[in-house]
Amino acid sequence: DKEWGIPFVPAPSGLEVSAVLQNDLVRTAYGNETAWTVASRELAGMFCASINYLDDKHTVPPVRSLVGANINVTNNRMAAVYGQLPKEASCTENLTPWLKLSPCRAEEGLGRLLVPKLIYSSRHHTMRTHFQKVCYDKVSQSAGDTLKYGAWSNCSNPVAELVQTLTLVFDQNLNEGPFQFLQGEMKSTKPG
């Protein structure tokens, strides 16, 4: 946006989910279901959001745009899914489970500064949770050992990686509104 600049992490309005899952049917209490149906229901409960409404009408299989070079979905063992609910609004019931994923939750560190009144008084906000399985195998190179990041199909050391991103847009006046509160909290958290 010309007024706010380019976002650090692009995010559309509403709710967006992308996933690469095993292309298998899962036996559940409801019968045989796709891995996506099960995952969307679990994510809906975890984030207190309407993710379970991402059905066939709201999802597409984006083979080229979602899938990186490290994931092979052409062998029919994996399925890529992208879904969006543009009218899904974010509220405090979504912030609470999002904060619980951070190491100190809302008790210390950056989580302590994420007060709902501050976030929801901003001109714009996005919350993002990115979870993926990555490979951290050591690869010897002439410059020394480096970590091989990606290609987990033949990985001997798979690791779960969770990245949370919060983008807030405020007015520029730093002496009014939420910035007064933020500055006060930052001063009170300094060691004495």
164-190 average pLDDT score: 63
Q: Residue 77: which of 158, 134, 20 has the closest Cα?
A: 20
**Considering only 7-16, 36-45, 127-136, 152-161, which range has the smallest mean pLDDT?**
152-161
pLDDT confidence of residue 139: 53
pLDDT confidence of residue 47: 92
Residues ≥6 apart with Cβ < 8 Å to 183: 174
- The 10 Å Cβ neighbour count of residue 36 is 22
Residue, of 192 and 177, whose pLDDT is higher: 177
Chain position carrying tokens 């298998």: 24
pLDDT confidence of residue 174: 57
pLDDT confidence of residue 48: 92
Distance CA 101, CA 96 (A): 9
Q: Residue 160: which of 139, 131, 128 has the closest Cα?
A: 131
Chain position carrying tokens 């979504």: 94
Q: How confident is the model at residue 157 (pLDDT cuts 50, 70, 90)?
A: confident
pLDDT confidence of residue 138: 58
- The 10 Å Cβ neighbour count of residue 160 is 8
Considering 20-24, 171-175, 188-192, the range whose residues carry the highest mean pLDDT is: 20-24
pLDDT confidence of residue 147: 45
pLDDT confidence of residue 177: 55
Chain position carrying tokens 């999802």: 59
Q: What is the token pair recorded at 36? A: 């996506």
Q: How confident is the model at residue 185 (pLDDT cuts 50, 70, 90)?
A: low
User: Cβ distance 52 to 30 under 8 Å?
Assistant: no
> Residue type at 179?
F
What's the mean pLDDT when you consider all of the chain? 74
Give the H or E element holding residue 22. Answer: strand 15-22
pTM to 2 decimal places = 0.72
Chain position carrying tokens 């091989």: 148
Largest CA distance in the chain: 59
